[in-house]
Amino acid sequence: MDALALVCKILAGCDAPWWIAGGWALDLHRGESYRAHQDIDVAVLRRDQHSLRQFLSGWSLSKRAHGLQQPWMESEQLELPIHEVHAERNGTRLEFLLNEASETHWLFRRDLSISLPLSAMSRRSIGGIPYLCPPVVLLYKAKNPRSKDQDDFEQTLPTLQPADRLWLAQALEVCHPGHAWLRSL
C-alpha cells in the first residue's frame, strides 16, 4: 500500500475533518504526481486537536515548537505558534498541521487577516480524498520558496481557476508584497 493510501486508511475513522496538505495536495488537485515527496502533511483545524488526540490514543504524540520536538502532554491545549504535531506508532509516522479557523472561515496563521470560507478551503480528489485547496497550499509555500515549491507553483498555476488566482494574488500582496509569483498570477 502506498504512503498516501495508508494515511487515508488510518484517518478514515477520525471524526475531525482532515485534509491532505503540502505537495501531495497539489498532486491530488492536478490528478498526477511529477515529483517524489518526503512525507505527507495532514491539515486539521486547531479547534479539533482534542478529537484528533483522542483518535490517536495509543500513538506517541509530540509537538514541534521553536525548532524542538517535545512530548504533547495529554491535557495540553496547543496554541500558536505551535502548529505541528507528530504521531508515531509501529514505525508509522504522521505529521499534522494545525490550522486556524473562526466559526466559518479558515485563517492564515501567519496573518490572521487573510481568510477563506471553510467551504472553499476543502477539495476532494477524484478518488474522494480530502485535500487543502491549491491557493492555500501555495500561500504557505510562498514564504521562502525552495526549488520544489517553485516547481509546485509552476506545475499548478495552469490548473488554477480565476477565483483561485485572484485570492492567491490578494493574499500574497498582503503578506509578501512584490512576491515573484504575482507576475504570473
CA atoms of 138 and 168, how far apart (whole Å): 8
Which structural domains are found in the chain, ordered by start?
Answer: 3-133 (3.30.460.40)
Averaged pLDDT, 10-16: 94
What is the pLDDT at residue 161? 96
What is the pLDDT at residue 34? 80
Grid-cell match 503540502, residue found: 22
What is the pLDDT at residue 33? 84
CA atoms of 178 and 173, how far apart (whole Å): 7
pLDDT digits (tens, 9 = 90+) for 95-118: 999 999 999 999 999 999 999 999
Averaged pLDDT, 164-175: 97
pLDDT digits (tens, 9 = 90+) for 118-169: 999 999 999 999 999 999 999 999 999 999 999 999 999 999 999 999 999 9
Judge whether 153 and 138 are in contact, CB under 8 Å.
Answer: yes
* C-alpha cell, 53: 488526540
pLDDT digits (tens, 9 = 90+) for 52-94: 999 999 999 999 988 899 999 988 999 999 999 999 999 899 9
Q: Quick one: pLDDT band at residue 1, thresholds 50, 70, 90?
A: very low
